[in-house]
């Protein structure tokens, strides 16, 4: 179940990258100016972040249902307070640093992944999960590999760097 979640999350991030890259191509061709890029990127990435939140919510419910042997419903989590403002600021910072295909892909990847990671943290908190451990994605960096295996309190936030594809696995009992 957790392996499936980590894989699905990577798929979501790749789709976010592709959609953002398409917006970048329109900017690069001169079809969009900077402000239009910001507005369109915000619309597209907001949706990808919302999908990340929904994925985390459903995956946590599925994990708990399977572990407990009884149905646990999703929490209907939403994006956190101030998400739109932070997203817009991050897009503007990316534009200010000079847009490249790579910087746009990194932005899309990190925004969609962190939305899901933060939602999973919030979900575990609401479900009263006692502890969790980090699940590495296949391309995990050295720092994340060092952190793997640690058991953290249920309400502890997960360290995640830009583009980190790690996920949390609840530890029950
Ligand atoms: Zn990581």
pLDDT per residue rounded down to tens, the chain (173 residues):
455 898 999 999 999 999 999 999 999 999 999 999 999 999 999 999 999 999 999 999 999 999 999 999 999 999 999 999 999 999 999 999 999 999 999 999 999 999 999 999 999 999 999 999 999 988 899 999 999 989 999 999 999 988 899 999 999 97
pLDDT of residue 52: 98
Query: Which candidate, 125, 108, 8, 89, places its Cα nearest to that of 49?
Result: 108
Do the Cβ atoms of 107 and 87 come closer than 8 Å? no
Residue 130 has phi, psi (to 5 degrees) of: -70, -35
- State the distance from the centre of ligand 1 to the C-alpha of 116, rounded, in angstroms: 13
pLDDT of residue 138: 82
Query: Which candidate, 76, 75, 66, 69, places its Cα nearest to that of 5?
Result: 66
Distance of CA 10 to the CA centre of its chain: 9
CA 108, CA 13: separation in Å to the nearest integer? 7
- State the distance from the centre of ligand 1 to the C-alpha of 43, rounded, in angstroms: 26
pLDDT of residue 120: 97
pLDDT of residue 55: 97
- State the distance from the centre of ligand 1 to the C-alpha of 161, rounded, in angstroms: 7
Alpha-carbon separation of residue 172 from 81, 104, 122, 134, 145 (angstroms) = 29, 38, 16, 14, 22
């Amino acid at each position: 179940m957790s392996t499936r979640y980590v894989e699905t999350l990577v798929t979501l991030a790749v789709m976010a990258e592709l959609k953002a890259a398409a917006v970048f191509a329109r900017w690069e061709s001169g079809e969009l100016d900077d402000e239009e890029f910001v507005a369109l990127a915000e619309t597209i990435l907001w949706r990808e972040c919302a999908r990340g939140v929904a994925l985390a919510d459903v995956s946590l419910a599925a994990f708990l249902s399977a572990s407990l042997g009884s149905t646990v419903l999703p929490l209907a989590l939403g994006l956190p307070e101030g998400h739109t403002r932070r997203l817009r600021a991050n897009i503007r910072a990316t534009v200010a640093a000079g847009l490249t295909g790579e910087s746009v892909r990194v932005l899309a990847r990190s925004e969609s992944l962190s939305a899901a990671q933060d939602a999973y943290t919030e979900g575990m908190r609401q479900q009263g999960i006692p502890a969790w451990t980090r699940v590495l994605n296949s391309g995990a960096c050295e720092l994340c590999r060092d952190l793997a295996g640690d058991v953290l309190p249920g309400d502890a936030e997960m360290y995640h760097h830009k583009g980190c594809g790690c996920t949390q696995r609840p530890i029950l009992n």
